[in-house]
A and B are shown apart, each in its own frame.
Chain A
Amino acid sequence: MALTGRAGLLALAGAVVVGVLLPSWWGILLVSGLVLAAVAVDVALAPSVRTLRLSRSGDTAVRLGETVAVTLRVQNNGVRAVRGELRDAWPPSAGAVTQRHRVLIPPGERRAVLTTLQPTRRGDRFAHRVTVRAVGPLGVAARQGSHEVPWRVRVLPPFTSRKHLPSKLARLRQLDGRTAVMIRGQGTEFDSLREYVVGDDVRSIDWRATARTADVMVRTWRPERDRRILLVLDTGRTAAGRVGDAPRLDSAMDAALLLAALASRAGDRVDLLAYDRRVRARVEGASPQELLPALVQAMAPLEPALVEPDYAGMVAAIRARSSRRSLVVLLTGLDAAPVQEGLLPVLPLLVRRHQVILASVADPRVEAMAAARGDAEAVYDAAAAERARTDRARIGELLTRRGIEVVDAAPEQLPPRLADRYLALKAAGRL
């Protein structure tokens, strides 16, 4: 049950009657009684909210930063028209633009209400509940009730780094031999034989094939294909740290998505593993067409956990999943203590069988602090930042010495830098 403003206004008008005509307890009793009677009549005659049938339709996924519309259909099965207000409640981060709607549903009819969402955070957003306030015929009181109409909108990572994809694909095509340049080197694989033309490297002449045919034949080469790439997202403590406006995890996802898009075009197979102390998400054996959708769907609900990651468990999980040699891209932090104590002891197990890239999101704030000068405060800041930078460099050096490729870059630079490193490894045939 709910009152409307009209009930109060009615009582206010009654105050004039009491003051002028019936200045006594009886007047107050009479007027208040009349107002309450009107409320009672209205509540009794208001249509029941319970009998409404509600259903939803619309989009279930949206990229962060875009808007999505969810339609709510309300069917009135009662005998009286439902007139009043409807609130389609969503959590604040779902960014519902319009939550309250005026509705008028004649008996036996159905109306649609459109709720536009502009989510402000990645992850799953669940509709809360729909509350309807149906006003009675006098308009002084209403019946109010709620319905659970479940709906989920999955807010996907924005993949802002896809703007780098065209340039990286052009680089890939260069490697791939689809352009005129043919490269030959270690790690490339035999593609086909063709006739010699002037300008070809004489070292690539296939003498056996030349002997079988009348012409001089040369071998052509192409970069290796069907390599395996395992993207490992560390969702532990370090991933929760905010760099700029977004947590490190979001920047890591961005980088992982660019690499996955590039690698799947290059003919490599990409898998994903998200791990802190247990497996958080996994994508395995997705075909090139469904890889990116599968990845964003798997990444969307991931939230960093405030726990120390279990690197031994992570390495065990990686080893269990990849028997063949693959490129393991570890997207984690480069902080001294966890890497030295957790990661370094278990890395040899990984490096023995796989090529490993460790990608880490650096904080531009540290760079800004290191460049600060002027007064003592700023210089102490600079010294602390310099110390942190030196530590990171030292850890990076330790890892490089163990045969691990290290990519440490600010959030905007990390995706292209990681892609470049992948292309370099591919060109060198080290996958």
Chain B
Amino acid sequence: MTTVEQLPRSLAPSAGQLWRAARGPLAVAVAVLVAGIALAAVAGGTRSGLLDPRAVDPAGSRAVAQVLRDQGVQVTLVTRYDQLRALAGPGDTVLVTFPERLAPPQADAVGAIRADLVVVGAGEPELFSSGVKAVGGGQPGERSPACELPAAVRAGSADAGNIAYETTAAAGATVDGCYAVGGAPALVQVRTGARSITFLGYAGPLTNERFDDLGNASLVLGLLGQHSRLLWYLPTIGDVPAGAEKSFYSLVPAGVWWALGEVTIAALLLMLWRARRLGPVVAEPLPVIVRAAETVEGRARLYRRARARGHAGEALRAGARSRVRPALGLPRGAALPTVVEAVTVRTGRSPVEVAALLYGAAPGDDASLVRLADQLDILEREIRRP
């Protein structure tokens, strides 16, 4: 026969078990953290960023800015809308990168600046200049100018594409469209008097990577180097003027609200489904629960509250006496001296002590009551033991 030794044991994990279970995930977390900090420390020295005139990575634009500076153009990086409004004036060129980051009223205001504007990759050009619309486009690639814009003519073929534009001639404005992509120009310049707005569909020529390909450099320098100062506007997303901010809810498509209405109805139906009971609740008369020992416990509470040591002590003594008498072979009604004598003979205690224990005065405090109970127990044991 085999017996399986099974000792009771606790299933609560000890500190060691917790550590063993947690150290794997902890090690991974620490490794990720360290690697992140290390990478940040290594990469922190150089700036990176799309079309950023300080960035040296392939998508940055430090090359353009550097060449322009060499040509004597003052290149100023502007990231805040207010700053742009304050700085820009006639005789400046303003390059707007990421026009989609501008809220529509901001775009309107930028479009109204009395300076030459060059907007790169604008999906909604009508915000800057009414009469110009985006019409699809095509894969960026080498295109020939095929127009009379001096900068384009000088540059010759260059990278163009991405977004193409369509223009409707406004009164008193001359429009040039170059580098046609699928029939529509990817570079459009609208001139109204002395001021021009240029839309460049593809930002490639401005990047470090593609700046020196084809006629890109010449085109860019021609567009941006017209004036002695270039304001390079790099909008940030959070930079929205007060009042132009849209609430989250106004951005939610209307359909969602209607769908939510229907969802409410669905929820109502689901509630009706769950609320309908399969038949009524069955009621049952329950028996009264009366504990048989309730009266005894009540009496104990009364003793306790009244500190009735006299009554309690007498009850204990009476109980002890009633058990002692038959053990000593005494009749029920045996008187005090008889009982005391019999107990004395049996136990060898002094008659005074026995009388005090079995028939003595009421205990004075709780401690002596407890002592009395214990002593009565001892006496009973002595008597029972032959």
**Which residues of chain B come closer than 8 Å to A290, judged between CB atoms?**
none
Pick from A11, A130, A306, A380: contact of B265, CB below 8 A: A11
Q: Which segment of B88-96, B251-259, B344-352 sits at the interface?
A: B251-259
Do A8 and B296 form a contact, CB below 8 Å, given A383-B312, A383-B316?
A: no
Residue of B nearest to A85 (CB): B278
A373 & B373 in contact (Cβ 8 Å cutoff) = yes
From B279, B286, B300, B370, residue with most partner A Cβ within 10 Å? B279
Residue of A nearest to B363 (CB): A379
A7 & B273 in contact (Cβ 8 Å cutoff) = yes
Q: A282 near B: Cβ within 8 Å?
A: no
Q: B262 near A: Cβ within 8 Å?
A: yes
Pick from B258, B278, B288: contact of A306, CB below 8 A: B288
Q: B366 near A: Cβ within 8 Å?
A: yes
A12 & B258 in contact (Cβ 8 Å cutoff) = no
**Proximity bits, A1-32, B CB within 8 Å = 1, else 0:** 01111011111101110111011100110011
Q: B291 near A: Cβ within 8 Å?
A: yes
**Which residues of chain B come closer than 8 Å to A91, judged between CB atoms?**
282-284
Q: B37 near A: Cβ within 8 Å?
A: no
B273 & A3 in contact (Cβ 8 Å cutoff) = yes
Residue of A nearest to B303 (CB): A380
Q: Which segment of A207-215, A235-243, A317-325 sits at the interface?
A: A235-243
Pick from A9, A11, A12, A387: contact of B315, CB below 8 A: A387
Q: B5 near A: Cβ within 8 Å?
A: no
**Which residues of chain B come closer than 8 Å to A100, judged between CB atoms?**
278
A4 & B311 in contact (Cβ 8 Å cutoff) = no
Pick from A242, A335, A373: contact of B370, CB below 8 A: A373
Pick from A5, A24, A128, A248: contact of B258, CB below 8 A: A24
**Proximity bits, A70-85, B CB within 8 Å = 1, else 0:** 0000000000000001
Residue of A nearest to B259 (CB): A19
**Which residues of chain B come closer than 8 Å to A4, judged between CB atoms?**
273
A335 to B312, CA, bound (A): 20
B312 & A379 in contact (Cβ 8 Å cutoff) = yes
A12 to B304, CA, bound (A): 66
B262 & A31 in contact (Cβ 8 Å cutoff) = yes
A276 to B230, CA, bound (A): 111
Q: B39 near A: Cβ within 8 Å?
A: no
Residue of B nearest to A2 (CB): B276
**Proximity bits, B277-316, A CB within 8 Å = 1, else 0:** 0111011101111111111110110011000000111011
**Which residues of chain A come closer than 8 Å to B256, judged between CB atoms?**
19
Pick from B254, B258, B290, B293: contact of A28, CB below 8 A: B258
Q: B269 near A: Cβ within 8 Å?
A: yes
Pick from A87, A240, A248, A385: contact of B296, CB below 8 A: A385
Q: A389 near B: Cβ within 8 Å?
A: yes
From B253, B258, B263, residue with most partner A Cβ within 10 Å? B258
From A5, A100, A382, residue with most partner B Cβ within 10 Å? A382
B279 & A384 in contact (Cβ 8 Å cutoff) = no
A248 & B369 in contact (Cβ 8 Å cutoff) = no
Do A14 and B266 form a contact, CB below 8 Å, given A7-B273, A20-B255, A388-B296?
A: yes
Q: Which segment of A163-171, A196-204, A362-370, A422-430 sits at the interface?
A: A362-370
A303 to B258, CA, bound (A): 62
Do A19 and B255 form a contact, CB below 8 Å, given A242-B291, A369-B293, A390-B322?
A: yes
A361 to B262, CA, bound (A): 67
Nearest Cβ in chain B — how far from A389, in angstroms? 6
Q: B11 near A: Cβ within 8 Å?
A: no
Nearest Cβ in chain B — how far from A388, in angstroms? 5
**Which residues of chain B come closer than 8 Å to A335, judged between CB atoms?**
295
Q: A55 near B: Cβ within 8 Å?
A: no
Query: Which chain A residues numbered 357 to 411 have a C-beta less than 8 Å away from chain B?
Result: 361, 363, 365-366, 369-370, 373-377, 379-390, 393, 397
B interface residues with partner A (beta carbon < 8 Å) = 253-263, 265-267, 269-270, 272-273, 276, 278-280, 282-284, 286-297, 299-300, 303-304, 311-313, 315-316, 318-319, 322, 332, 366-367, 369-370, 373-374, 377
Q: Could you pull out 20 A-B pairs where Cβ atoms are within 8 angstroms?
A: A2-B276, A3-B276, A7-B273, A9-B266, A14-B262, A15-B259, A15-B260, A15-B266, A19-B262, A32-B265, A100-B278, A128-B279, A242-B290, A248-B292, A306-B288, A366-B293, A373-B370, A373-B377, A383-B303, A389-B319
A interface residues with partner B (beta carbon < 8 Å) = 2-5, 7-12, 14-16, 18-20, 22-24, 27-28, 31-32, 35, 85, 87, 89-93, 100, 121, 128-131, 133, 144, 146, 240-243, 247-248, 303-304, 306, 335, 361, 363, 365-366, 369-370, 373-377, 379-390, 393, 397
Beyond known contacts A380-B369, A381-B297: 11 more, CB 8 A cutoff: A18-B255, A91-B282, A121-B287, A241-B292, A241-B294, A242-B290, A361-B292, A365-B292, A379-B366, A380-B300, A387-B319
